Amino acid sequence: MQTTLRGVGVSHGVAVGEVRHMGTAVLEPPAKQIPTEEAGREQGRARQAVEAVAADLIARGNLAGGEAQGVLEAQAMMAQDPELMSDVDRRIAVGSTAERGVYDAFASYRALLANAGEYLAGRVADLDDVRNRIVARLLGVPMPGVPDSDEPYVLIARDLAPADTALLDPTLVLGFVTEEGGPTSHSAILARQLGVPAVVALPGAGELAEGTMVAVDGSTGEVFVEPSAEKRAELEESAAARRAALSASSGPGATSDGHKVPLLANVGGPADVPAAVEAGAEGVGLFRTEFLFLDDSKQAPSEEKQIAVYRQVLEAFPEGRVVVRVLDAGADKPLDFLTPADEPNPALGVRGLRSLLDHPDVLRTQLTALSKAAAGLPVYLEVMAPMVADRTDAKAFADACREAGLNAKFGAMVEIPSAALRARSILQEVEFLSLGTNDLAQYTFAADRQVGAVSRLQDPWQPALLDLVAMAADAAGAEGKSCGVCGEAASDPLLACVLTGLGVTSLSMGAASIPYVRATLAKYSLAQCERAAAAARAADTAEGARSAARAVLSGE
């Protein structure tokens, strides 16, 4: 009998197949005391296992490329954290085995993250994965990971670590469903990059029996258990119609009546550029430069290295617009040379632009590198600061850009509610705004973007979030300046229409989402988008906003 479960759809498409569950390693090794004379040998075993796991993560990142590479390299750094290793050594010195020392040291660090206001809770899944890999290697048991299967399947997991998501084989993994996670988690972002249909934050997903037939709709978040022949035919017909619309859609983004909405790509570096170009991106709306800095958390990359990386991206979009976000460090992206190590709540501390203003040499080097990288290229370079709170922040950034001789537009990201509320004031100092809806939702609702338990509040359809978007867009319009969206909200085709109706002037997203958004925008006029936006803002819930907008656009 067919039943329907509902989670959060995070990657478009439909997948129909049998359930296979994610394999797990033995999580907790036995507690066993070792003689003092064996401590040195056990410490050596622990270090060898840590180095092997770190090397494996880096190798996986090299294979995956793009954003996945930066995420996996950050995991490798987590495995090799000096403080963690010191704790492991200390535990082994007082009698723990290597595997037990690793397990207990990671458990202690995990507790610290969980008590840090849960802002870093998104790193807990990454931390658990690193721990499991090290312990599995020490115990000689199979590494946790994707099941071995010759037939395509739908993967079910409590959560997916980046190391697993990054190397999923789309020819075998038709789609995946997780019990935890959220729309802006690493797994969700990587799923969109891979083009694999995915649903997250689905309670009880782990209870689905191995071999159960399911149909996963990554657009609606619905999972149909033992779908009927009629439902499967309906889903396949819908998927075919979507594919036909995608293949027929090309050219710049625009509504049906010709209102232009440039569709840009979010990239983490040169490896993401080919997919963006192939998808027809009109430029880059968010170049996340932090992945370059995460290669080495102990020192900033040289000016020469930065120039080389930036130029590769800029050269790919002649006559196009490339919006670069300067280093966004802190909170869940700590860097030893930049961010404080002892903040009680890093999410509300020195991060983003605040870190850069405390280290003007780092900011100056990056701005100088961007200026030199763009020299002589026919590209429209725009540079923006993350985590701008007010006009004082915006002025400090604009002044730094001018002092570096940067020939580009200067902008501010709207990720803090105060920036949306005072957007017109901020626009007296900068030339454009870019809404980072992921963090804006996080700070608006006090809801960590990585915690599945609060994913309801991370839904970009929340009317309060739409109100803030409208405020920023209205302010930009009044000043004759642009206001784009570069958060994951832009990747939802229906929401893209609503954002357009709210006055947003450009949309930036993962490359895989661009064709879906282009095709959907082309179906509706600007007036229809404006009516859908008004209906969404009049609702009281995210689901109500989504339903109201859909009803307007479908003519119901």
Task: Say if CB 412 and CB 388 are below 8 A apart.
Answer: yes
> pLDDT tens for residues 16-29?
999 998 876 556 88
User: Given this model, what pLDDT does residue 119 score?
Assistant: 37
Paired strand residues for 322: 284, 381
Q: Are strands 222-225 and 482-485 parallel, antiparallel or unpaired?
A: unpaired
> pLDDT tens for residues 437-479?
989 999 999 987 666 677 788 889 999 999 999 999 999 999 9
Whole-angstrom CA distances from 216 to 67, 192, 333, 536 are 25, 15, 32, 26
- Any idea which residue has 């001789």 for tokens? 405
Q: In whole angstroms, what is the distance from residue 408 CA to residue 369 CA?
A: 13
Asked if residue 75 has pLDDT above 90, the reply is no
Residues in contact with 150: Cβ distance below 8 Å, sequence separation at least 6, in sequence order? none
Q: In whole angstroms, what is the distance from residue 267 CA to residue 44 CA?
A: 39
- Element containing residue 414 per DSSP (H, E): strand 409-414
Of the given ranges (19-23, 38-42, 45-49, 402-406), which has the lowest mean pLDDT? Answer: 19-23
Calculated CA dihedral for residues 277, 281, 284, 288, nearest 10 degrees: -70
pLDDT range class, residue 403, cuts 50, 70, 90: very high
Is the C-alpha dihedral spanning 84, 85, 89, 90 positive or negative? negative
Q: Are strands 482-485 and 506-509 parallel, antiparallel or unpaired?
A: parallel
Compute the average pLDDT of residues 353-358.
94
- Any idea which residue has 């030339």 for tokens? 431
Helices (H), 265-416: 273-278, 290-293, 303-315, 353-358, 360-374, 391-403
User: Given this model, what pLDDT does residue 281 score?
Assistant: 95
Asked if residue 394 has pLDDT above 90, the reply is yes
Task: Say if CB 387 and CB 356 are below 8 A apart.
Answer: no
DSSP string covering 525-541: -HHHHHHHHHHHHH-SS
User: Given this model, what pLDDT does residue 184 score?
Assistant: 66
User: Given this model, what pLDDT does residue 195 score?
Assistant: 77
Task: Say if CB 182 and CB 1 are below 8 A apart.
Answer: no
Active site residue 486: yes
> pLDDT tens for residues 87-107?
999 999 999 999 999 999 988
Q: In whole angstroms, what is the distance from residue 390 CA to residue 425 CA?
A: 8
Whole-angstrom CA distances from 267 to 75, 189, 287, 290 are 19, 11, 5, 11
The fraction of the chain above a pLDDT of 70, given in percent, is: 91
- Element containing residue 483 per DSSP (H, E): strand 482-485
Active site residue 497: no
User: Given this model, what pLDDT does residue 67 score?
Assistant: 64
Find how far residue 418's CA is from the centre of its chain: 23
Q: Are strands 8-11 and 198-200 parallel, antiparallel or unpaired?
A: antiparallel
Asked if residue 538 has pLDDT above 60, the reply is yes
Q: In whole angstroms, what is the distance from residue 487 CA to residue 415 CA?
A: 10
Give the DSSP letter of residue 17.
Answer: E
- Any idea which residue has 């803030």 for tokens? 468
The pair of structure tokens assigned to 112 is: 């610290």
Task: Say if CB 413 and CB 387 are below 8 A apart.
Answer: yes
Asked if residue 122 has pLDDT above 60, the reply is no
Active-site annotation holder among 401, 486, 497, 529: 486
The pair of structure tokens assigned to 219 is: 């657009």
Task: Say if CB 462 and CB 441 are below 8 A apart.
Answer: yes
Asked if residue 117 has pLDDT above 60, the reply is no
Compute the average pLDDT of residues 35-63.
88
Helices (H), 359-506: 360-374, 391-403, 417-421, 423-426, 437-445, 455-458, 463-479, 493-501
Active-site annotation holder among 186, 401, 483, 497: 186
User: Given this model, what pLDDT does residue 147 score?
Assistant: 79
Q: In whole angstroms, what is the distance from residue 437 CA to residue 459 CA?
A: 10
> pLDDT tens for residues 407-420?
999 999 999 999 99
